[in-house]
Amino acid sequence: MPLRCHRVRELLMMLNKTLESLGREDLVREISDLISLYRDDLRLLEEAHTGSRYLLRIYDKDDAEKAIKIVDKIFSLVEKVERIVFSK
């Protein structure tokens, strides 16, 4: 059964566990650093996902810019992992 998860931090930690099992400590560190450095922005993404479905919350331009910035960083890092580890 496929894993389902909508929490970005949890997905990144799952990726970290996989990379750890593959001996890719360099990438594990990079992902862990991203999670630590952008913890609040990742939380904003998760809240925005939940809030858009169940709550009335207004986000301002700054929130949107932070969300776009962290999504770009996540995509770049995941593409790097794919290129280095899974595209052989």
Nearest to 22 by CA among 79, 76, 85: 85
Distances from the Cα of 54 to the Cα of 7, 12, 49, 61, 74, angstroms: 15, 24, 9, 21, 25
What are 2-56's pLDDT values in tens digits?
556 568 899 999 999 999 999 999 999 999 999 999 999 999 888 876 666 667 7
CA–CA distance, 69 with 77 (Å, rounded to integer): 12
Q: What is the pLDDT of residues 60-75, one digit of tens each?
A: 899 889 989 999 999 9
